[in-house]
Amino acid sequence: MSAVSEAFRVLGDSTRLRILRLLADTRLNVSEVVSVVGVAQSSVSHHLAKLKAAGLVGEERLSGFTYYSLAIDAQHALWPLVVLARQAEDEHGDQARLTELLRRREDVHTLNERLLEPGQSWRLWAAALGRLLPPLDAVDFGCGTGVLSVELARWARRVTAIDHSADALAQARARAAREGVSNLTFLQADLTSLPLGTGETDLVVLSQSLHHVADPKRVLAEAARLLKPQGKLVVLELLPHQETWVKSRLGHQVLGFEPQALKAAMEAVGLEQLTEADAPRSVDSPFKAFLLTGVRRAGARARPRTSLERRPT
């Protein structure tokens, strides 16, 4: 009875009711809630803390943001409160703003996939993959929604698609199912420490993944660890640019790389026979791409495999 009483007390505030109704539809971070309900971020954080303390919402960390979502379901004693909140009149127009927010969020996913024109990135991949002979065991670091993973799976023996985002992996699984790909498995994990065997992979690809991580050198070291002797690493990345908006909208950690710096990092983790290719330089795009390939030295010492036991699913 005390939990119910506390929940009623917490939901006595109309703004908290509005937030609860939003989170019953989708998970949101603080900034997104602020943009919908139109109150200060400090107030939203306060309201979310109250809702969390009452056991009505939970939080999780994704892509550098803390997301909040409903923590109860239809079997919970407090569920009727959620039903009442959903049925209340939307006098503030929250649902319309939420719909627009979700549309913009989807646009961001699309923009991230199409940040480079297909004629640039896919021409590079065609050049790289044309030199490889299947069947190979491949790993896609930072697979996102699975565009490249599915294409790799068409000629590889097996592909492991890795990403830290559960949402992205769900979309990748759906894409693989639509395309009828059965030799593709998925793993949600940190790219700097993977539960995969040392020296068991023929090919690792990083397609615009390094600029999303805080420590690119550790990711390159982990990629090298997975490779068999003479296994290949292929990196598609952006040259340095000044588009700072990609940090907040797309979660970029780094505004591009100098090819020579990445070459040096690849050599440091045991790669040789490094090659470089540039994408065609579109005059109307601030994003220029380059591609690096390398081969695992036969005598290079790999970092020991991680003790994690989680496996791809």
Q: What HEC string does the chain produce?
A: CHHHHHHHHHCCCHHHHHHHHHHHHCCEEHHHHHHHHCCCHHHHHHHHHHHHHCCCEEEEEECCEEEEEECCCCCCCCHHHHHHHHHCCCCCCHHHHHHHHHHHHHHHHHHHHCCCCHHHHHHHHHHHHCCCCCCCEEEEECCCCCHHHHHHHCCCCEEEEEECCHHHHHHHHHHHHHHCCCCEEEEECCCCCCCCCCCCEEEEEEECCHHHCCCHHHHHHHHHHHEEEEEEEEEEEECCCCCCHHHHHHCCCCCCCCHHHHHHHHHHCCEEEEEEEECCCCCCCCCCEEEEEEEECCCCCCCCCCCCCCCCC
* Judgement on whether residues 97 and 182 belong to the same structural domain of the protein: no
pLDDT of residue 219: 96
Q: What is the pTM of this model?
A: 0.60
* Judgement on whether residues 68 and 180 belong to the same structural domain of the protein: no
Residue 193 belongs to domain with CATH number: 3.40.50.150
Over residues 161-183, mean pLDDT: 91
* Judgement on whether residues 242 and 195 belong to the same structural domain of the protein: yes
Q: State the residue range of the domain holding 25.
A: 2-111
Is 309 within the bounds of a domain? no
- For the chain, the domain total comes to 2
pLDDT tens by residue, 57-79 = 888 876 567 888 888 888 887 78
* Judgement on whether residues 229 and 292 belong to the same structural domain of the protein: yes
Q: What is the mean pLDDT of the chain?
A: 82
pLDDT tens by residue, 96-147 = 888 887 776 665 655 565 555 444 555 566 556 655 666 889 999 999 889 8
